[in-house]
Structure 1
């Protein structure tokens, strides 16, 4: 099994150095691929100065994040791809721990871990929650989309995720029309059609929370609309055995509207709050889903909504 870490970058050399360093210092040797989306700073000179330690490709014109990720996967030679944005970085044992878990579940196509969310100075702000029992476990393919629909199995952002390269290529890659607004989640949805999922309840990645992050440019209404689109795509892929136990898509949309309206209120974003405020937020089924989702997260999936979780000794 060979891993390739694919780093996408655009005019963030000060952050890119940290991402590359964390990749080159992995305890398990792997290929490091840097795809430069036509930066105008000194990115090219810096990466080329690293010599053969890094595979470097520069887009001739700026193509956007999704297209740049797709180019990185094409240029990589590993069996597995570890995604990494230039403003994030990895624990030194990230690849080693993922490889150990994957070796115990060879039919897996996607692997995720806990990430620490840090500020621009590297100070930890929070961590993504545990998912399921133990240090590591897998979810059979037939249960993945059911879990995603009910928000019991969130794969997370690129810094948390690795996937099998052949599964990625079967999906056609990231959707450039989404371009940083759930293009990663959309990819996880489609990759999960081809095999099992692995979750590592170990903090192996660091995600930087700052105003320059790509997803900061989208309004709450845009994020709501894309969230609904993702749920519709997941809903269509839920295995038949779970169909009788899932909410209607209408109830899910009402829940999402409630969820994002409450986020706007929490953020004191009154224009977005009033824009999204509609009768859906008064729907009893929406509130029931809201309560169920919160309870499920708190229970870390120990309520057995996902069946056949198989522990991996890690």
Structure 2
């Protein structure tokens, strides 16, 4: 028997549409049950459930909102099926979607613990989900393309909108972790599946339609808490996968770097394994610091002025800082990561050139080129500069001045690190 488990929270019309399409899409003769769990809906869903009568359906009512994890776990506890199919209530099914997933789960030659599928957006028919990957900025995102030469693939994660697994295995993993609140429960479960030695796969021949996050909506701070918890729980595994993502990028397409704000130094790219490890740690540390600020109001740069030094400028009596050399050196002690680096100043109209070329270099590993017009203020920024977890990080700013005596035509005002301003 298969137990289809559907948590409900408002959106009755979509729930009814989902249920109708589910029942008409299932194979003839399939032994199944549907468990609908209302998680304190505010619309007409509870009233509709109270009148629902179907030999294959059971309903559960939460007296208060418990969230995705606890609601699913409650249904699994009473489920009769040996196989669970966990579903969102904003899906639309067509005949033939279940069989490819079931075939993979029951394949004794492949050690599969969990099966996901392809989901197309209801709004435009485009692929919303064909698995989940981690991008080069250490953020999870949906894969939105499918191969044509295979019917399944091993992946790190799939979404919980539609997943198939055995009930006893789900229970052995402890079910969904209720510390998450409507986000990351599915990714955490996939981590646990893989930790238990089983595979997570996607069935490419199983395709359904999805309204996409209709039932729960979006709470950005709540999502940040969920992500912070997930990264804390699985940081080592995430770092391995992120390092591999960077290694793949550096060894296949290092010449083109649209995924980086600036360019990496050639000698750095020539050691791709070491470079990938450093880049992965940098991205994870940036995330750690961002969550420290967002969730705990911990400002990691609050005493940065005590750990900051600058050379190559003169400080005028009027408070201005003028260039004295073509190169300005900015050093930061005990600064593990930066989300953004911005250098602000002005190019005076006395500069003999129409435009000024400027290069900001971070630790000799990561640089970015700018062109600044004469007579204007500038704000030169680098997103996620390659700052290292070491004693000192150095930004070298080079101004392409043809004559040394023209350096005084450039005024530097301040540096901004993740919103924290340092006067020069």
Query: What runs of 5+ residues in structure 1 fail to find an aligned partner?
Result: 140-152, 239-244, 260-275, 286-314
Aligned residue number for residue 217 of structure 1: 219
Task: Report if the CA contact (8 A) 1:112-1:160 is conserved.
Answer: yes
SS at match of 2:41: coil
Distance 1:233 1:215 in 2: 30
Aligned residue number for residue 127 of structure 2: 126
Distance 1:202 1:136 in 2: 8
CA-to-aligned-CA distance 1:192-229 (integer Å, 9 cap, x gap): 3152333211242222136x453621247556535633
TM-score calculated relative to the size of structure 1: 0.65
Distance 1:159 1:79 in 2: 20
Aligned residue number for residue 181 of structure 2: 179
Task: Report if the CA contact (8 A) 1:224-1:257 is conserved.
Answer: no
Distance 1:248 1:229 in 2: 20
Distance 2:41 2:217 in 1: 19
Task: Report if the CA contact (8 A) 1:181-1:223 is conserved.
Answer: yes
| Structure with the bigger percentage of helix | 1
Residues 1-314 of structure 1 mapped to structure 2, 5 A cutoff: 2-28=1-27, 29=30, 30-47=32-49, 48-105=51-108, 107-119=111-123, 123-128=124-129, 129-130=145-146, 133-137=149-153, 139=154, 153-192=155-194, 193-209=196-212, 212-214=214-216, 216-219=218-221, 221-222=224-225, 225-226=228-229, 228-229=231-232, 231-232=234-235, 234-235=237-238, 251-255=279-283, 277-278=339-340, 281-283=384-386
Tell me by how many angstroms 1:6 deviates.
Answer: 0.6
SS at match of 1:229: helix
Query: What runs of 5+ residues in structure 2 fail to find an aligned partner?
Result: 130-144, 242-272, 288-337, 342-382, 389-424
SS at match of 1:214: coil
**Alignment RMSD, CA only?**
3.6
Instruction: Name which structure has the greater RCO, CA cutoff 8 Å, separation 6+.
Output: 1
Tell me by how many angstroms 1:254 deviates.
Answer: 3.0
Tell me by how many angstroms 1:80 deviates.
Answer: 1.7
Distance 1:49 1:246 in 2: 60
Distance 2:3 2:281 in 1: 37
Quick check: 173-182 or 36-45, which moved more? 36-45
